[in-house]
A and B are shown apart, each in its own frame.
Chain A
């Protein structure tokens, strides 16, 4: 390794780096005793991609997401983010890499206002290891609190909830609460967004708004993984889809191809219509 001057990567090297996938899973296994919730899944998510993760209930989607964010356990295989193997890292360390995720159930703090809830997401850029150091530094810098606040307001704007900022989560509709959660994710300026059924329980109008938001974020270059049951949303929003069944990756590709894949359709018993491609691509 050169020790003198750091060499600027050449243009081809930069291009190659930009083309390298952001997230790579190799042979990931999540075992619950003898049962494999995730069974040797390998996949790669490209930078700026909006990927869908589909599969019937119990197919391992949430387990996979949990393992990827290291909040859940990883029984085997490796996880790599931007070239960094993080399989052995703790969840909070991984989060600091730039992961933000939402969960299947709404997890907001009841005794914090919407703004405060979202600020927690923004805070994450300030919390360091040792608690005492954090505490002393938070006492010392009033400006940081303002920065968190600003980032939180910006995120709330993005989901269109700026006027709800002083409300308490329990006074909001379920769909609105979910949007607050998404704002919390966005407030941390993530590099990878993991959304677990973000539009479950939303009206179709809200779902469309979220879909539009996700597209905007994609246009800004944010890499996203979206777990969803709503196949039409998946179809309209994603670049690439991964299909799981019984913990195994059974298909991947464009959403229409995956939806028409006989193995996938067999897994989703009852899917009758073929998903047609839009005429405008």
Chain B
């Protein structure tokens, strides 16, 4: 039993940390801001923490620094990219992520170049991770309710309508952008603490793909979707392998890609959205049966 828990603990920790990555993308998408810059900030967070830790800086201070730097960078980036929307914004943030990667590789001694940084010694317990992620979830939950929740809903779907309803869309979008960077950096920092390393692949294309996938599969309208998506995507390779169908585990990547494709097309709001659709279908059925 303890052995079972022990092996699942690593998985659990991974899910928690990656949930933050998913949150960083989700919170931007939820505001209608197609930004994947959270991934670049994940790398910034990982490296800031690692660099500071290797120089003996207190862990908490290092985490705060990582988040703070990401906030500043995100804010500046949001100003630079203010007029962009949709795909263009998305690709610009991908370009930003790649540039972070290039900066890391060319950072010489400071960033360890292609090799990255090793020997980060800042252990973190599962409980601490649960608390951190819990607090972030709480914050996101609060942002999905009441005035702000409704406002973000409209900013996401219909900007000019939002403006006509006295909603400062620019301010809300910037806020989402910066928060996305902050959460991404937090995740990256915790990840570096968990693994003990920071690597240039932290800003790579696959990370971007994974982050996007988690949010698409789970559903980007709510933090719950991102959490579900993170858990599911991380579990999938294990799940497929454990099913043990002959040769099946070799094809997990194909299943993975097909899953993303299928959900993106047929469940655009993710699994969570699928549940909501069900709920409104029930509502409609009830109405139809109620009206004569």
Q: Which positions in A face B, CB cutoff 8 Å? A: 69, 71, 90-93, 95-96, 99-101, 103, 107, 109, 111-112, 116, 119-121, 123-124, 126-127, 129-132, 134-135, 138-139, 144-145, 148, 167-168, 170-171, 184, 188
Is the CB of B252 closer than 8 A to any CB of chain A?
Answer: no
Is the CB of B231 closer than 8 A to any CB of chain A?
Answer: no
Which residues of the partner chain A approach B284 to less than 8 Å between Cβ atoms? Answer: 168, 170-171
17 contacts between A and B (CB under 8 A): A71-B164, A92-B164, A93-B166, A107-B158, A111-B153, A112-B153, A120-B165, A121-B165, A126-B147, A129-B168, A135-B142, A145-B146, A145-B147, A148-B147, A167-B287, A171-B284, A188-B166
Report, as a range, how many residues of chain B touch the other chain. Answer: 20 to 34
The answer to whether A91 and B160 have CB atoms under 8 Å apart is yes
* Nearest CB of B to A50, in Å: 20
* Nearest CB of B to A73, in Å: 11
The answer to whether B276 and A111 have CB atoms under 8 Å apart is yes
The answer to whether B142 and A139 have CB atoms under 8 Å apart is yes
Kindly state the separation between the CA atoms of A249 and B276 in the bound complex, as whole angstroms: 48
Provide the B133-147 mask, 1 if CB < 8 A to any CB of A, else 0. 000000000110011
The answer to whether B168 and A92 have CB atoms under 8 Å apart is yes
Provide the B250-292 mask, 1 if CB < 8 A to any CB of A, else 0. 0000000000000000000000000010001001100100000
The answer to whether B166 and A101 have CB atoms under 8 Å apart is no
* Nearest CB of A to B162, in Å: 8
Kindly state the separation between the CA atoms of A243 and B89 in the bound complex, as whole angstroms: 41
The answer to whether A95 and B166 have CB atoms under 8 Å apart is yes
* Nearest CB of A to B72, in Å: 16
* Nearest CB of B to A23, in Å: 16
Q: Which positions in B face A, CB cutoff 8 Å? A: 142-143, 146-148, 150-151, 153-154, 157-158, 160-169, 171-172, 174-175, 221, 276, 280, 283-284, 287
Please, which residue of chain A has its CB at the minimum distance from the CB of B169?
A92
* Nearest CB of B to A125, in Å: 8
Please, which residue of chain B has its CB at the minimum distance from the CB of A107?
B161
Kindly state the separation between the CA atoms of A69 and B172 in the bound complex, as whole angstroms: 20
Most B CB contacts (10 A, CB to CB) among A92, A96, A129 go to: A92
